[in-house]
Structure 1
Amino acid sequence: MNKKLVSVVIPSFNRFDSLLNAIDSVLNQTYDNFEIIIVNDGSTDQRYYEIAFPKNVTKIDLIENQTKKNGFGPGSIRNYGINVANGHYIAFLDDDDFWMEDKLSIQINKMLEKDIPFSATEGYFGNGAYNSTLDYELYNSEKFYKKIKKKYKGTNLFKNNFPETWDYEFIKIHNCIVLSSVIVEKNLMDKLGGFRGIPVSGYRNIVGPNEDWDCWLGLLRLTNLIYIDKPLFYYDGDHGNGRSYI
């Protein structure tokens, strides 16, 4: 089967060591047709400029820190990567997170099987860099399960297990989609116009949905999402001791 190109978009600011771990988790994928696009949001760590990245990594250096300059969240930073992406698919990865080696293969195969162009997965939650020798809580099914179950109380959308197909009505109630798990066909992101700029002060004070949630809702007006309940990413709750790009 001819594997379609996946463009992996990673925004980063002053978390170089974490970024290298994230890149390694992509380079170790069993799915081998991908490009990595790093959007460096004006980092002051000189290693971003002095150390060479692998040949299939494209780095965009924003001269000025755009998140601080514009007051928007990281969605606008990801848009730089989406705009130069060559892939049929866009996959998102935060620079402090980590992928399991079969993430792309399992996820894209499921998208093709179900003929759904938007997908997300279960993951692991921990604090600090991923360590394969440690046991971690599942992100949705353990760490945040009680919170999620409470959100859907009184609806018929969530029983004891997550449904396989998620639609607009399901995600409108609560954002169960973790950004580092998402793969979506690029034509849908182009149709949507990418992430909208929502002021950081707004979404951090829970005034309306944050940029990720807003984007997922926009995509779910165009299609459904296929959810894979196997953990295929690791989420670092400590955020690599740097800027959180959630």
Structure 2
Amino acid sequence: MTPSVTIIMATYNRAHFIVETLQSIENQTFENWECLIIDDGGTDNTAEVITPILEYNKRFRFLKRPDKYLKGLPGCRNYGLDVAKGDYIIFFDDDDIVHPQNLELCVTELSQKDISFCRYIRHAFMGDFMYDFDYSKVYTSFYIDANDVEKILKNELPFNSCAVMWKKDCFVNNRFTEHLMYAEEWELYSRIISTGIRGISIDKCLFYGRKHANSNTGEFYTHNPIRRASKKEAILLVVQNLKEKQLLSPSLLRYFIQLSLGFKEYHLFSKILNKLQLTIFEKVQLQLFYFTLPLRLSVFGKWKKIKKLNQ
């Protein structure tokens, strides 16, 4: 039987976590799926520890990333997209836990409504996972479209890489940018949604992300230069995409300029200006905003502290 859902899982030296993740996939209440485990050139015993699962459950496939795809998470996922058989696509990481109803509820939402993706809630955990799932099928929901791109980019509407199921059609003209080593899903997902498709968000936790220092996010927040350079590139790609689609609102532009304060070593502010076709007056306005922003942020921070003390 052709699988309805393709799960794409990139893996790299996660032998100590991946078995528990695969077991959570095996426990799905929806059974018509395939899981493509894409090895990114790992050197540990991942292949050995998952061999028993591969032998008795043929829905799992262990594949090596071909050299024509760049090393890294985006390249592995693009390879998975090219060999996927399912009508629906979902990306899982190799160290997390999946709620048993994840696939079932997402497929139900995607099959009953004229929508292209289903977003859900993702919670984080550290250490041992507590297997105490909520099996209720009663939840609220709301729709998401291009009008919500700003909320997504500002993380006011979190759009984690493993917290959304997509119709495969969304990736016909969209792929991960393979040279990005951080924020690749932030860049791709905003690009897809900015095309005008519509999705749904359900208010139920269906995924649990494991927090640890060796994750990409953990490395970014410890100032790993590769991750930081990738976020800078992702910001420039997002600005370019929004500009082309005429979705770069003044508030979003100010947001990206504020972000650029944290990437001065890359001259990000100047590079953002170069992406835009601005008049001299508009450039001067943005330069004034940029150079006075640190002082205004400092004053605002002190005002908030004083207000809190007086409450």
TM-score, with normalisation over the residues of structure 2? 0.58
| C-alpha distance in structure 1 between counterparts of 2:47 and 2:109, whole Å | 35
Q: Secondary structure at the match of 1:75?
A: helix
Relative contact order (alpha carbons < 8 A, sep ≥ 6): 1 or 2 greater?
1
Per residue, is there more helix in 1 or in 2? 2
Matched, 1:55 2:58: yes
Contact kept in structure 1, 2:116 and 2:166, CA below 8 Å: yes
What is the aligned partner in structure 2 of residue 196 from structure 1? 177
Residue identity matched to 1:180: C
Residue identity matched to 1:188: C
| C-alpha distance in structure 2 between counterparts of 1:165 and 1:101, whole Å | 24
Matched, 1:179 2:164: no
Contact kept in structure 2, 1:9 and 1:36, CA below 8 Å: yes
Residue identity matched to 2:61: T
Identical counterparts, % of pairs: 26
The one-character-per-residue Cα deviations of 1:49-99 (angstroms, maximum 9, x if unpaired) are 5752232111112377x76xx5xx522221111111100111110111111
Contact kept in structure 1, 2:8 and 2:89, CA below 8 Å: yes
Per residue, is there more strand in 1 or in 2? 1
Q: Which runs of 5+ in 2 are unaligned?
A: 135-139, 219-311
Q: Could you list the runs of 4 or more consecutive aligned residues of structure 1 that deviate by over 3 angstroms after TM superposition?
A: 241-246
Contact kept in structure 2, 1:40 and 1:61, CA below 8 Å: yes
What is the aligned partner in structure 1 of residue 272 from structure 2? none
1:112-123 aligned within 5 A: 112-123=111-122
TM-score, with normalisation over the residues of structure 1? 0.73
Q: What displacement does 1:4 show? A: 6.0
What is the aligned partner in structure 1 of residue 41 from structure 2? 42
Contact kept in structure 2, 1:97 and 1:180, CA below 8 Å: no
Q: Secondary structure at the match of 1:164?
A: strand
Q: CA, structure 1 residues 134+102, in 2 after alignment: closer, same or farther (shift >3 Å)? A: closer
Contact kept in structure 2, 1:7 and 1:34, CA below 8 Å: yes
Name the count of aligned residue pairs. Answer: 203
The one-character-per-residue Cα deviations of 1:194-239 (angstroms, maximum 9, x if unpaired) are 2122433xx5xxxxxx21011111221141221111001101122x
Matched, 1:225 2:202: no
| C-alpha distance in structure 1 between counterparts of 2:46 and 2:109, whole Å | 38
1:101-140 aligned within 5 A: 101-133=100-132
1:195-214 aligned within 5 A: 195-200=176-181, 203=182, 210-214=183-187
Q: CA, structure 1 residues 51+102, in 2 after alignment: closer, same or farther (shift >3 Å)? A: closer
Q: Which runs of 5+ in 1 are unaligned?
A: 136-161, 204-209
| C-alpha distance in structure 1 between counterparts of 2:73 and 2:50, whole Å | 24
Contact kept in structure 2, 1:129 and 1:236, CA below 8 Å: no
Q: Secondary structure at the match of 1:180?
A: coil
